[in-house]
Amino acid sequence: MKKQMMKTSVLAAVLLSMGMGMAHAAAGDVLASNSVVVNGVVGAASCVLNVTDGGASTTSIDLGAINQSAIKSGQLIGTKKIKVELGDCSQVVDSNDNTKLNTGVGLRISGTASTVSADYFAAPGDTNNKLAVAVQNGSKFLKPNDAVSFTKGALLTDVMQELDVGMIAKTPSDVTAGMSVSVPLTFQLIEK
């Protein structure tokens, strides 16, 4: 009988201690937990920058052949009008879920500066660049690394810059028949 009473006492003590642990838990106490990682990115506009020549996206602009007599000092010749515009912006939204340009961005044109004029672009390594390429925004020549601003608040699908690109010579008499020019230009979307 003593053994039976001892077993009952031990069992009662165990049950009592389990119940006491639960009885001490108050509202707000952590009973279980798990952790998760939340990721997000704040990024610049991740649109594609398209250069179009006559409506078609291009990576090469053919200025054609020009007559030597058409060359005038400091004037574009063989001019092509190009458009640089944003495209594929469907994943870019502002805080109001609008696809509008909500930061100051611009278009930078980079390339090798001509040794003849800082307003002109030349082929890399060409030290005899009597015939060069120039980019004009309205009446202003854009120098290498110049930037043009896009309109803040414009719909991304409407963000576009028209530019004139052509051959140019500072001294027309230095340009002879058979001369050609091939100049790489890089158009970059930059934050301003």
> What pLDDT digit, counting tens, does each position of 73-123 carry?
999 999 999 988 877 765 555 556 566 666 667 888 999 999 989 899 998
Give the pLDDT confidence of 122-166 residue by residue, as tens digits: 988 888 889 999 999 999 999 999 988 876 667 766 778 899 999
What is residue 167's three-state secondary structure?
strand
Structural domains in the chain (count): 1
Q: What is the pLDDT of residues 31-47, one digit of tens each?
A: 677 766 676 655 554 67
Is residue 119 in some structural domain? Answer: yes
Where in the sequence is the domain holding 118, given as residue range(s)? Answer: 48-191
Residue 30 domain-assigned?
A: no
Instruction: Please tell me the distance from the alpha carbon of residue 99 to that of residue 35, in angstroms, as a whole number.
Output: 34
Answering whether pTM is above 0.85, one says no
Cα radius of gyration rounded to whole Å, the chain: 35
Query: What CATH number did the domain enclosing 113 receive?
Result: 2.60.40.1090
For the chain, what is the total number of helices (H) and then of strands (E)? Answer: 1, 11
Amino acid, res. 155:
L
Q: Residue 35 falls within a domain, yes or no?
A: no
Name the residue among 84, 189, 180, 85 with its Cα closest to residue 135.
Answer: 84
